Each structure stands twice: as structure tokens, then as C-alpha cells.
Chains A and B, each alone.
Chain A
Amino acid sequence: MEPERPCPLCGRNIPWGQTQCPFCPGHGGYFWSLRRDTFLLIILVLLILLFVITGFAVRVYHAVERGFAEDWYTRGEEDLRAGRAEAALADFRTALSYSHDDERYQLRLAQALMAAGQSRGAGSEARTYLLNLLEHEPGNGTVNLELARLAARDHAVSDALRFYHGAIYGEWDDDPVLRRRAVRLELVEFLLDAGQKDAARAELIALAADLPDDPPLQTKVGDLLLRVAGYDDALKLFRQALREEPRLAPALAGAGECYFQNGDYAQAERYLTRPVQQDPHLTQAAAMLDIAQAVLRLDPFNRRLDNRERARRAALDFNSALMRLQKCAAQRGIDLKATGGDPLQALSAQAAQLQPRAQQRYLSRDSELLSQVMDTVFEIEQSTAHTCGEPQGLDLALLLMAREQGGTRP
């Protein structure tokens, strides 16, 4: 038994033997006179009432918050459109402070942070928002894409690949096919920048298999395939594009380059001529056209040529190769008259032996000699390219012929 108990009203101890607190002026009235079970029931009713009141208050407050959030969000969009990136960030942050879970705000803030970029910790904050969104929607294409961009910016190749693929196979609200294609193109650009040509080529082949009849798009993918040396696949796309639009200059240039890279200089010349004429800015195509034309002009093994022309070309090629040899030797300080272990000296000696007979009148009569002379020419071009780097102009044409194992030699 307790010697004394605290007064439920004032907290002071009721002395032993007394039933009422002597310190309280009167007892607590009806509320304190209730039986325990009745009081417990009243408590339950109060609890329900408080639940309702709290629910109402929370609902009203959330409505107010949502209103503020929407206002700040709209303001942020306006600031963003007006190019006020920092103000937009502050606006989106304020919007989000009133509506923490709104995925639209989170995504927009993350995008704004990434766009602002230079602000401190933008990546980290954006990543946290995006990862949070991803947790709720692992298949969200937009979120995956933004995360992929973030990873790409940080040069995290494996993460970028994972998120890009998440975006490609993810869900998109509007025009999913177009979006997925755009993401794959972005992924290819990223892979090319990261030097991952094989992976890029695989993505491009997958992309090419599902392209619509859209000549500019086909041309774009073809161009990307050219960057990964997928000439055959690229050529198919350029041809498809040209079927729809035969005068499409980039497609013509692309096809020309494919032929050029495959060593078909006649076709290359055919496809490259028109775009180079149409667009003077296609400098690379123009250079390729020049080289293709040079190859066609210098190749002595063309079947349509008569012996005289064949000999003339071989003699010209020989003289050109000799000049290239002398220039390269001078550049490297090699004395061609001396005998030593240098391959250029050996080639010089070999050329010196051939030089008296490497004239049009001998070559037109002796096809064996012509072959011998051209072999020497190719050897000189390859050796000098190895020693002094890629040549320009006619020598480049000769080198390409050498690489094609003698051009169109029968």
C-alpha cells in the first residue's frame, strides 16, 4: 500500500490517510470524477476527434504548400526561359521545400542543376534527386537519361552505359520510339568520345536495324558508322537515303567516303563529285575526291589503259616516288648515297638501278619491268610513310594504291 500518493491535479503528495488533496481548493469537477472505463472511452472519442482535426489541418496546410510550390515552380520555369539559371535554381528549390515528394520538381531541379553545372555540388545534389526518383521508378526513361548524362559528365563509363541502357529500354511518356532512338544516338556519341568504338558500333548496328525511311536520320547514323569504320553498314544506310533523296549531299558524300575507304576510287569519285560541287564547305569530301581522282589518274594497272598510257603513268609514279624518297631522307638526315642498314638507303640503291630503264619507252614494251618499277614505287611510299609520316597529294594517292596491294593490278 502506498503511504501517500500524488494529487492528480496539483502534483503534490496527498498526506497519508487523507482522500482529498488539502492543497487543491476544490476537486476537478466532472472530468476528474469519471470512472476509469468511462474516461477511457472519452479518450478514444477524443483521439478520433483529434485524428479528424489533424487530418483536416494537414490537408489544408498541404494545399497551401502545394499552392506555393506551384507558384515557385512556375516562377522557376519563367526564370529558366529568361536565362536566369541561378534564380531558377532558387525557385525550384523553394518549390521543392514546399512539396518534397513532387517528382516533377525534383526532376526539373536536377535538370536545372545539371544545366547550371558550374554551381558547387550541383552534380551531387542532382544525382541525389535523380537516384531518389529512380528508386521510385526504376524504369523511368527521363531519369535514367539524366543520370546517364551525369555519369557521362563524370567520365563514369560503366555507370553511364547502365543508365543509358536503362533509358533506352525504359518508359517514356511521349513518343517513346523517337526518344529511345535519340538516347541511343546520344549513347553512341558518348561512346565515341570515350574511345569505345566497338561498343559504339554495336549500338549503331542495333540502331540502323530499326530506322525509319528518314534520309537525314539515315545519313546521320551512316556518318556515325563511318566514324567507327563500319563502311559496309554505313553504305547501306546512305544508299537507302539516296533512294528517297538522290541529291542529298551529305548522303552522297557519305557514300563516296565509304567507297573511298573500301578502295573503290571510281565509285568514290562518282559519289563525291556532286556534293563537293554543291557544298564548298565539305572540305574532307573535297580532299577525298582529289585523292580519288589522283589515284585514278596515277594507277597504271587500270585495264582500260593502253600500254603507252600505262608506261607514262608508271614513269610518272616512279619519279614522284623518287622525289618523296629524297625529301624524306633529307628530312631525317639520311645520306642516300651511303650504304648502310637503313631501308631508305637500300630502296635508293634499288631505285638507282631501275632509274635508267624507268622511262616510258622501256616500260611500254616490258610489262615485267613496269611491275618491278611499281613495286619499287609502292615500297618507297610505304617506307617513307613509316619513316616520315603520311604524305600529301600524289604521294598519298600512291600510298593508297600501295595499301590496296597494287591498286587495280591484275
Chain B
Amino acid sequence: MRLPLVTPPVPPDKHPPSASSIWAEVRKRLSWVQEGETLKQAQLFLLLAVIIGLFSGLSVVLFRIAIDWAKLLAFGSALAPPWTRSLLVPTVGGLVVAYLVIRFFPRVRGSGVNQTKAALYIYDGYIPFNTVIGKFITCAFAIGTGQSLGPEDPSLQMGAGIASALGRRLRLSREKVRLIAPVGAAAGLAAAFNAPISAVLFVIEEVIGNWTAGVLGAIVLAAVSSVVVSRWFLGDQALFRIPVYHLVHPAELLAYAALGVMGGVSSLAFVKLIAYARPRLKALPRWTQYVQPALAGLLIGVIGIWFPQVMGAGYEYIDQAMHDQFTWQILALLAAFKILSTSLSFVSGTPGGMFAPTLFIGAMLGGAVGGIEHHFFPWLTGGVGAYALVGMGTLFAGFLRVPLTSVFMVLEVSGNYSIILPVMISNTIAYLISRQYQRASLFDLLSRQDGMDLPSMEERREEATLHVEDAMRAYQGMVLNTEDPFQVALTRAEASAEVFVLLKDGRERWHGIKKDELRGWAPGMRQTDPLRDLIPETTLPYLHPDLPLDEALRRLGEWPLLPVVSRADLGKLEGVVGLPDILGAYRAAGRS
């Protein structure tokens, strides 16, 4: 017997969803991202940070592949190219890059760090999107054809550019658009370095300059998501194979201190060379800018015939230096030639980064110093690889002047905590030497050469913050009590040198009253009436001696002065601060 085919009944109100209804539902779900909802801006900012991280990670992956592909096409698959290619490729590459930069992407010159800072401090977070495209194309071509530059700083700027475009298009507030560029910068750098902590620290240390809680979460989110993407596609292996390291004897730290001295001196030489040559080359006639990168490429090619290691970013050679592949003489020569070739590439206006060359020079220098020390003191147990590793951080600290990032960068790259002591010693010495003989850091120097007065993070870090205690003075009078009889209070107030009299109530709260007001009430008052019936309910804000002075300005409002009280005892007056005191403190600080 066949069963009749029965179509299940459709409930009258359950129609299959149409495309338009799905679209409407999605938009309803996303309604919280509509403009004008202030509370949701913060959530949108965090969501955007993740999106920026993903985009940055993807663009950095494509960027790295573009560089490698350009290199393969230009030089072939051998590690050491034939000499004809060594000469021709960087020269022709330089010509092409110069044409692209001058004709189509004039904003892509330089490393990208200062451009990101300029976006933050000058252009309200604005970075044109064609800068991202230009940076991608020109840097991939420049680095791929052997210019001695790295991909990290361009990645940083590309991340910032992507972030800026997204932030602007989503019509974030001006403050958020301004802050979104560093978020993207952290994402780009993290993906390029495969080191999220270092990227976050660098952006905070060099771009933003302080730990702003409002943006820190977004920076971390962006950095993490970009690294996840980068690792997804390129794998999670470290940039270098790290040699085994153990500090056997504390006396070996002296050897690392010597490396710090050498790192400081080399950093100085590197910065001075760039500082000297860059403005001079920029001042040459405009047509020379078409040939400057080509000439730089030709000279690098000449060096590359004997030392192909100096061409491009050179990560594979850093790896080899860490494993004792070169004699100390070769390492020293490589460090010197890399300083020369990177300076040539950079001052000629070729777009590209300084991070990878800095690491390269540091590794070679570290290896050379380690080799020399081993030659004279064979009992040193730290291998040359350990010196190369520490050397990378040392030059980072001395040349880029980011001491905190330099330490964490080595830790993050090596994954070895025991290297921290040599790194800290060596980096600190290099940083101090560099600071002593070169007042402005590289980034500050470059921005000033470009006619911009970007805030110097280094100077900002060292600015002395004024505190309330710097402006505070003694209260010249007696503190009244709200329970005091009016006549007693008036007498005490008259005896005070202050025009504004402080009062304290039974609950240790502070009040204030002008002496003139007190006098004005005298005719209608009995002598025994307590003060509490007269004074206003409003309590007086108070300060503590350790608070920043600008906090005093904020709290002062219309009050003539504020009490400065102990943190341990809010009823104990330590002094008072008024507007003249604050201004006096600022003036004194300005004079000093």
C-alpha cells in the first residue's frame, strides 16, 4: 500500500526568509555601530583595532612575499648572485624606485616612523591611503632589488595608513582618528617583526610617548591579531635560530660592557653619517633625486660583489653570524659596510626601514667583538652567537634610542631570559654613549631636517613633572573649626595673613570662606553663634603634595586657594596652593 505524499503544513507566519529580510536583520544587529552613540565608540574602537590588526597582518604577509618575489626575480635563487646582477639590479631598481617616488608617491620617502608620528601630532591621524599602496610597491621593489633597507618600518607605516583610512571612513571622533594611526603602526610592526611585545613597546616608547590606557588595549589587540595572521600564513618560527646561552661567570658581563661601548660608538658613527649626508643630498638639484637611489644602488652593488650579505634586509646572514659562520674580521667588515650601504640607501631618499639594518649591524658588530674577546680571553664561555644576539639589542638602543624596546626585543626574539643581564648592561652603555654625544635621537633629527617639530619622546620621558609640593606654601593663619563661636572665628580670621580662611568640620572635611564675607556677616550675628550655620554646604577640594601640579590647576576652579593635606590624615594640613603659587612654580621651572 502506498502512503499518500503529504506536504508538511507551513505555519501561516513562518515564511522562508528573503534576502532583504536577512539584510535588514544584519543591519539591525549592527545598529549599535551607528553614528552618534558615544558609549559605543569605545567598543567600535576595539573592534576596529582587531580589524586593523587583521588587515595589517595580511598586508604585511603580502609585503614580505612581494619583497621575496622581487628578490628572486631580480637576483635568482642563489644566495650569492653573480657580480653582473649585483651591479645592475640595485642600480636599475634605484632608478625605478626614484621615478615611482617622485612621480606618484612623494610621501613614501623615509622609514615611516616619523610619518606616523606626524600623522598623530600634526595631521589629526590623517595618512592618505595611496601612501600605503606607494609604500608597499616602492619598498618591496627597493628592498627586493638589494637596497640596504628593511621591511619593518614600512610595515609600521602601512599599518598606520590602513588604520587611518578605516578610522576616517568610519567617522570616528577626531581624538580616536588621531589615536588610530599608532594602533595600526603597532599592528604593522608586530606582524613584520613577529614580535608583538616589542611592537607595542616601540609604539608606546617612540610614537605615543606615554602609556595611555585608552589606546593601550586597542594597540595590544591590533598587534596580537596581526601577529596571529602573520603566523597563520608564514609560520611561527622566529626570525633567527637562537644559539644556546648560559651566563657561566659574572665576570663575563665585563665583556658585554665592552660590546656596549663599541655599540655606542658605532651608533654614533651611523647617526652622524646620516645626519651629515641627508640634508646635503636633499639640497642638490631636483633632477639628481632621480639618480641618487640608482647611484646608491650601484655603490651597494659594488660592495655586494664581495659582500652580498649587505644587500637587502639580510636576516639570513644575521642567523649565520649567530652561529659563528664568519671570522671576526669578516664580521667587522660586514658591520662597517652595512653602515655605509644603509646610509647610502637611506640618504638617497629610497623608501625603506632602518630596523633590519640596525639588527644586522648590531649582530655583526656583536659577533666581531665576541670574536676578538674570545681571541684574547679564550676562557670566556659565551659563544660568539650570544654576542651577536646582544649586539642586535645594543645597536637598537644606541641607534634608534629605544632602550626599553631594545631589551624586550632581544628577549622576545631569543625567548631566553638568561640573556637579560648582558643585554641590559650592553644596551644601557650604548644608549648613554649615544645620548652623550648626539643630543637628538635619529627620529627627532630626521623630523627636524624635514622641517617638522615633532615631539621628542626621549625628551618628553625626561621632562621633570612639577608636583603640588613644588608650588605649595605654608598656610599663614589658624585653621578655623565650624563649631567655633562666630566672634572667636572672626578674631582668629582677622589675625590671619590669608584673605581666604580655611575651616574644618567635625568630619574632617574642608571648607573655606573669604575674610571679607566673614566681616560682612558680623552685624547680624550673635557672638556665640557657631560658624557652621554660616558656611556653605560645598566642601573645598583638597590636594596631596605628590599630585601633579596640573591636577591642582584642574581642582582649583574659582577657589582662591586649596588645602594640601596628608594622605595618611586628611585632616592634617601640610600647606596651601593658590593660582599665584602654581604660576610661580611653572615660571621657576621654565627659568631653570
A: which residues have CB within 8 A of B?
A: 2, 5-6, 8, 11, 13, 31-32, 35-41, 43-44, 47, 50-51, 53-55, 57-58, 61, 64, 68, 71-72, 90, 93-94, 97-98, 100-101, 120-121, 124-125, 127-129, 131-132
B124–A40 CB distance below 8 A: no
Flag if A57 contacts B65 (CB, 8 Å): yes
B526 contacts partner chain A, Cβ-Cβ < 8 Å: no
Q: Beyond the given A124-B243, A131-B244, please list 18 additional residue pairs across the A-B interface where CB-CB is below 8 A.
A: A2-B173, A2-B174, A6-B126, A31-B169, A36-B34, A37-B31, A43-B51, A57-B65, A61-B68, A72-B77, A90-B79, A100-B235, A121-B323, A121-B384, A124-B324, A124-B383, A125-B323, A127-B244
Q: Which residues of A contact B78 (CB under 8 A)?
A: 94
Given A32-B169, A124-B243, A128-B243: A54 in contact with B323 (beta carbons within 8 A): no
Q: Which A residues are CB-close (under 8 A) to B34?
A: 35-37
* B196 at interface, CB cutoff 8 A: no
**CB within 8 Å of A: which of B313-337?**
316, 320, 323-327
A58–B171 Cα gap in the complex (Å)?
A: 33
Minimum C-beta distance from A11 to chain B (A) = 3
> Which residue of the partner chain, among A40, A41, A54, A58, contacts B170 with CB atoms under 8 Å?
A40
Tell me which residues across on chain B come within 8 A of A120, comparing CB atoms. 324-327
A2, B171: Cα distance in complex, Å: 13
Q: Closest approach, in angstroms, between the C-beta of A162 and any C-beta of chain B?
A: 15
- Chain B residues with CB below 8 A from A128, complex form: 241-244, 323
Q: Which 8 A-B pairs have the closest CB atoms?
A: A121-B324, A11-B126, A125-B323, A8-B168, A37-B30, A6-B124, A68-B77, A58-B233
A50 in contact with B58 given A2-B173, A41-B30 (CB within 8 Å): yes
Report yes or no: A101 in contact with B33, Cβ–Cβ below 8 A: no
Bound complex: CA A347 to CA B385 (Å): 67
Q: Which of A41, A54, A101, A131 contacts B58 (CB 8 A)?
A: A54
Instruction: Report A-chain residues with C-beta under 8 Å of the C-beta of B327.
Output: 120
Please name all residues of chain B whose beta carbon is closer than 8 Å to the beta carbon of A13 when the two chains form the complex: 124
Q: Which residue of B lies closest to A129 (CB)?
A: B241
Q: Does B123 contact A (CB under 8 A)?
A: yes
- Whether A6 contacts B174 by the Cβ 8 Å rule is yes
Bound-complex Cα distance A93 to B26 (A): 53
Q: Is B408 at the interface (CB under 8 A from chain A)?
A: no
Partner of B55, one of A32, A47, A55, A131: A47
Please report the C-alpha to C-alpha distance between residue A61 and residue B65 in the assembled complex, in whole angstroms: 7
Q: Which residues of B contact A127 (CB under 8 A)?
A: 244
Q: A54-B233, A121-B384 are in contact. Are A6 and B26 (CB under 8 A)?
A: no
B551 at the interface (CB under 8 A from A): no
Residue of B nearest to A59 (CB): B233
How many angstroms from the CA of A35 to the CA of B65 in the assembled complex?
35
Shortest beta-carbon distance from B465 to chain A in Å:
29
Q: Are A124 and B233 in contact (CB under 8 A)?
A: no
Are A6 and B244 neighbours in the complex by a CB distance under 8 Å? no
CA distance A32 to B129 in the complex (A): 14
B128 is an interface residue with CB less than 8 A from chain A: yes
Most buried by B among A51, A61, A72, A100: A61
Docked complex: B212-256 residues within 8 A CB-CB of A? 233-235, 237, 241-244
B125 interface residue (CB < 8 Å to A): yes
10 A-B pairs with CB atoms under 8 Å apart are A5-B174, A13-B124, A39-B169, A41-B30, A55-B233, A120-B324, A120-B327, A125-B320, A129-B241, A131-B244
Q: Which residues of B contact A11 (CB under 8 A)?
A: 123-124, 126, 128
* Contact status of A37 and B77, CB under 8 A, knowing A6-B125, A47-B55: no
Write the chain A residue with the least CB distance to B325: A121
Chain B 270-297 interface residues, beta-carbon cutoff 8 Å to A: none
Bound Cα distance A304, B125 (Å): 113
How far does the alpha carbon of A343 sit from the alpha carbon of B389 in the complex, in Å?
68
Q: How far is the CB of B260 from chain A (nearest CB, A)?
A: 24
Alpha-carbon gap, A125 to B322, bound state (A):
8
* Residues of chain A lying within 8 A (CB to CB) of residue B65: 57-58, 61
Chain B residues with CB below 8 A from A43, complex form: 51, 166
- Pair B324/A8 contact, Cβ less than 8 Å: no
How many interface residues does B have (CB within 8 Å)?
52
Binding site for A on B (CB under 8 A): 26-27, 30-31, 33-35, 51, 54-55, 58, 61-62, 65, 68-69, 72, 77-80, 123-126, 128, 166, 168-171, 173-174, 177, 233-235, 237, 241-244, 316, 320, 323-327, 383-385
Contact check, B77 vs A40: say whether CB atoms are below 8 A apart.
Answer: no
Q: Smallest Cβ distance from A121 to chain B, in angstroms?
A: 3
Q: How far is the CB of B302 from chain A (nearest CB, A)?
A: 22
Do A6 and B234 have beta carbons less than 8 Å apart?
no
A55 nearest CB neighbor, chain B only: B233
Expressed in whole angstroms, the Cα–Cα distance for A8 and B177 within the complex equals 10
Residue in A5, A54, A93, A94 whose CB lies within 8 Å of B61: A54
Contacts of A36 in B (CB 8 A): 33-35, 170-171
Distance to closest chain A CB from B161 (angstroms): 12
- Contact in complex: B171, A40 (CB < 8 Å): no
Q: Which residue of A31, A47, A120 has the most chain B CB atoms within 10 A of its CB atom?
A: A120
A13, A37, A93, most chain B CB atoms within 10 A: A37
A164 to chain B, nearest CB (A): 19
- Is the pair A57, B62 in contact by a Cβ cutoff of 8 Å? yes
Select the residue from A13, A39, A68, A121 with max chain B CB neighbours within 10 A. A121
Shortest beta-carbon distance, A143 to chain B, in Å?
15
Across the two chains, which residue of chain B brings its CB closest to A123?
Answer: B324
The distance from the CB of A131 to the nearest CB of chain B, in whole angstroms, is 7
Q: Tell me the bound Cα distance from A133 to B55 in angstroms.
A: 33
Interfacial chain A residues near B77, Cβ < 8 Å: 68, 71-72, 94, 98
Residue numbers in B under 8 Å from A51 (CB-CB)? 58
In-complex Cβ contact of A8 among B26, B27, B171 (8 A): B171
Separation of A11 and B173 alpha carbons in the complex (Å): 13
Please give, as numbers and ranges, the residues of chain A lying within 8 Å of B61 by CB-CB distance: 54, 58
Looking at the assembled complex, report how far the CB atom of A327 sits from the nearest CB atom of chain B, in whole angstroms.
Answer: 49
Chain B: CB-nearest residue to A113 = B323
Which residue of the partner chain B has the closest CB to A40? B33
Measured between beta carbons, the chain B residues less than 8 angstroms from A32 are: 169
Q: Let me know if B323 and A124 touch, CB within 8 A.
A: yes
A101–B235 CB distance below 8 A: yes
Q: Which residues of A contact B123 (CB under 8 A)?
A: 6, 11
B367's nearest neighbour on chain A, judged by CB, is A121
Question: If A58-B61, A71-B77 touch, does A47 touch B33 (CB 8 Å cutoff)?
Answer: no
Give the CA-CA distance A254 to B278 in the complex, in Å.
81
From A37, A47, A101, A131, contact of B27 by CB (8 A): A37
Min CB distance B244 to A, Å, is: 7
Among B72, B174, B234, B237, which residue has its beta carbon within 8 angstroms of that of A58? B234
Partner of A125, one of B79, B170, B324: B324
Interface centre among B128, B233, B235, B242 (most CB of A within 10 A): B233
Distance of A98 Cα from B76 Cα, bound (Å): 12
Interface centre among B35, B125, B243, B383 (most CB of A within 10 A): B243
How far is it, in angstroms, between the C-alpha of A108 and the C-alpha of B316 when the chains are bound?
Answer: 18
**Best-surrounded residue of B35, B169, B383 (most CB of chain A within 10 A):** B169
The smallest C-beta distance from A47 to any residue of chain B, in angstroms, reads 6
Q: How far is the CA of A342 from the CA of B580 in the complex (A)?
A: 109
Which B residues touch A125, using CB under 8 A?
A: 320, 323-325
Output the least CB separation between B292 and chain A (Å): 28
**Please, how many angstroms separate the alpha-carbon atoms of A2 and B36 in the complex?**
13
Complex CA distance for A39 and B165, rounded to whole angstroms: 12
A347 to B124, CA, bound (A): 110
Q: How far is the CA of A249 from the CA of B174 in the complex (A)?
A: 95
Minimum C-beta distance from A42 to chain B (A):
10
A65 CB → nearest B CB, Å: 8
CA distance A47 to B170 in the complex (A): 16
| Contact status B30-A6, CB under 8 Å | no
